[in-house]
A and B are shown apart, each in its own frame.
Chain A
Amino acid sequence: MSSEHSEGFPKKHIVGFIASIVLTIVAAWAALSSGLPTPWIITAIMVLAVIQACIQLFMFMHMTETDSGGIQVGNMLQAFFVAAVVVAGSIWTMSFGYSHNHDGGGNDAEMENHEDMDH
């Protein structure tokens, strides 16, 4: 797998570069001009971001190289698991039933009775 790098033409890098430029433009278009409902937009552009991250990891950073490749992939999977827990978990616990529903928070969940907090 490492032998291909001694070739002169960096095909993988150029494909990855073009793909990431295209994905960025698609994401910007989806966000500002597609007219989709907001939750759809957020989902779509987050998926695009994850794809771009994978392009960097696999095509630019050579994540799977050497006998440590498996460990490196596992490490990044664990990192993304922790990241998902930290971000989604924080938003979930800090908004549902606790948020005072500030303007723009986009939180239409059922509010818990705040007298609970007096205990």
Chain B
Amino acid sequence: MSADTDLTTGPLEYRSHEGRMNILGFWIFIGAEVALFSTLFATYAVMFGRTGDSPVPAELFELPMVLIMTFLLLTSSFTCGIAIHEMRRGSLKGLLTWLAITLVLGLGFLGFEIYEFVHYIHEGASLQSSAFWSGFFLLTGTHGLHVLLGISWATLLIVQLRQRGLTPVTSRKMFIVGLYWHFLDVIWIFIFTSVYLIGMVV
């Protein structure tokens, strides 16, 4: 590890003290986000089964759509990793290409999520219908908002990367967006497991 303290070699994003502090700061922010989502998971779990007169989740959840959404997001996390890999090879073109693919996949995910929400509301399960569905919409909706924010943020970065190319600052920003995107995938894995799979089993 000690070789990594050197500021003159290694990936661009680690080549300044500020860059390293920003990345560490973002890691700590991700820790805070874990606490944030865990509270939403806790609320969802406590509200589980409190559906009142509205439909129960097993009636509405459909495996194929959830699997498609999961694969979209998993793949986007992978392509985002490749984008960072290209960035570290020094290839701006590779980075932009893979990043664009990532964003398209992210948009696809969002499209399915919106369709899913509209569908549920038609079936009589909305934010207002019962404690369970309030928990469901807040948890998945917060994740969806994060995805939307990630897409907008990455779009801004594409502009900046085109303006400035790969510098210690732009690569640091890009690396942080990458962390954010992977983290959203981590959260989705837990949503997939504890909301959809358990919702279909119990």
Contact = CB atoms under 8 A, between A and B. Distances in A.
Interface of A: 1-3, 5-6, 8, 10, 13-14, 16-17, 20-21, 24, 27-28, 31-32, 38, 41-42, 45-46, 48-49, 52-53, 56-57, 59-61, 63, 65-72, 75-76, 78-80, 82-84, 86-87, 89-91, 94-95, 102-106
Contacts of A91: 42, 45-46
B38 A83 contact: yes
A32 B198 contact: no
Contact of B45 (A1, A13, A87): A87
A79 B35 contact: yes
Contacts of B11: 2, 5
11 contacts: A5-B11, A14-B78, A27-B197, A28-B67, A31-B198, A38-B201, A49-B192, A49-B193, A72-B24, A83-B37, A90-B46
Per DSSP, chain B at the interface is helix
Interface stretch (B80-88, B113-121, B145-153, B155-163): B80-88
Nearest to B66: A28
A69 B1 contact: yes
Nearest to A94: B46
A28 B63 contact: yes
B197 A28 contact: yes
A8 B20 contact: no
Contact of B189 (A2, A52, A59, A71): A52
Nearest to A20: B74
B49 A102 contact: yes
Nearest to A31: B197
Contacts of A90: 42-43, 45-46
Contacts of B38: 82-84, 86-87
B49 A83 contact: no
B71 to A, nearest CB: 7
A59 B27 CA distance: 15
A21 B71 contact: yes
